[in-house]
Structure 1
Amino acid sequence: MSGKASRISALWSGVDPRGRDVRYAAYFHHFNRGDFYEAHDVLESLWLEGGREARNAAFFQGLIQLAGGFVHMRKHFENPEHRVHRERLGPAYRLLELAEKNMKGYGGSWEGVSVEALCQLAKNWRGKLESQ
């Protein structure tokens, strides 16, 4: 197992999968704790394994993009004067937009979560970024 794979597999250690793939459960575990980079990485491993044609592919991609948007926002707001991080709000906005686009096709609820609420979260944060 490579160093990255080992680091990522440690991210789902101790997470209760509740009948789902442990990486899916670990995504929400980390996302809800504000560990957006970790949430992104753990679900990306499942998304890559399943392939782009899997029935959950666009949904997983949307969740990954949602976490990625929050990674960009955090880096910007933690260090807004940094030459790289001060430019992260545009990419954050685009990732949140893509996240909503990829998830909304899954209806009101999918895989045990409210897609509607996730899309609203992305939309609300895009609205906040527009006022920046």
Structure 2
Amino acid sequence: MSGKSSRISVLWEGVDPRGRDVRYAAYFHHFNRGDYYEAHDVLESLWLEQGRQAKGAAFYQGLIQLAGGFVHLRKHYENPAHRVHGQRLNPAARLLALAEKNIGAYGKKWEGLELDPVLDLAKATREEIEQAGFQKNPWNPGQKPVMALPGLPGL
């Protein structure tokens, strides 16, 4: 197991997947805690393993992009004056738009996930960034978004 693989495998320890791939379940576990980088990494490992042409690949890619967008928002929130982190709103909006496109191709429900609330989250967050001229970050730790995946404990 490579160094990155062993680091990532720790991220799904203790997650009960309830019949799903543990990495898919761990994505929601970490996303809902505001650990967007970790959510991104665990699902990316599944996406890469299955292959970019596999059924559902663009769905996973969209969820990865959603988490990536929130990585940018969290880093901007934590250090808005930083020369790099202060420039993260535009890339966040771009990733959220890509997430909308990729997830939106899967209809109303995929892999047990109701997609309308996920798409609404991506769209509303992106629009809030754009309408503020990329000057205001809509994310804050007191109101972290939560995605519900039925059947998983704590979600």
**TM-score band, normalised by shorter chain:** over 0.9
Alignment of 1:1-132 (within 5 A): 1-130=1-130, 131=132, 132=136
SS at structure 2 position matched to 1:19: coil
**AA paired with 1:126?**
R
> 1: CA distance between counterparts of 2:70 and 2:104?
19
Total equivalences in the alignment: 132
Tell me by how many angstroms 1:2 deviates.
1.8
> 2: CA distance between counterparts of 1:41 and 1:83?
25
Unpaired runs of 5+ in structure 1? none
> 1: CA distance between counterparts of 2:116 and 2:54?
21
Tell me by how many angstroms 1:47 deviates.
0.1
Higher normalized contact order (CA 8 Å, seq sep 6+, divided by chain length): 2
User: What whole-Å deviation, never above 9, does each CA across 1:13-47 have from its counterpart, x for those lacking one?
Assistant: 11011111000000001001111000000000000
Tell me by how many angstroms 1:56 deviates.
0.9
Q: Which has the higher helix share?
A: 1
SS at structure 1 position matched to 2:12: coil
Tell me by how many angstroms 1:127 deviates.
1.7
TM-score (norm 1): 0.98
Q: Segments of 4+ in structure 1 off by > 4 A?
A: none
> 1: CA distance between counterparts of 2:118 and 2:94?
16
> 1: CA distance between counterparts of 2:120 and 2:16?
26
TM-score (norm 2): 0.83
Q: CA RMSD in A?
A: 0.7
> 2: CA distance between counterparts of 1:99 and 1:4?
24
Tell me by how many angstroms 1:115 deviates.
1.0
Unpaired runs of 5+ in structure 2? 137-155
> 1: CA distance between counterparts of 2:53 and 2:31?
25
> 2: CA distance between counterparts of 1:110 and 1:117?
12
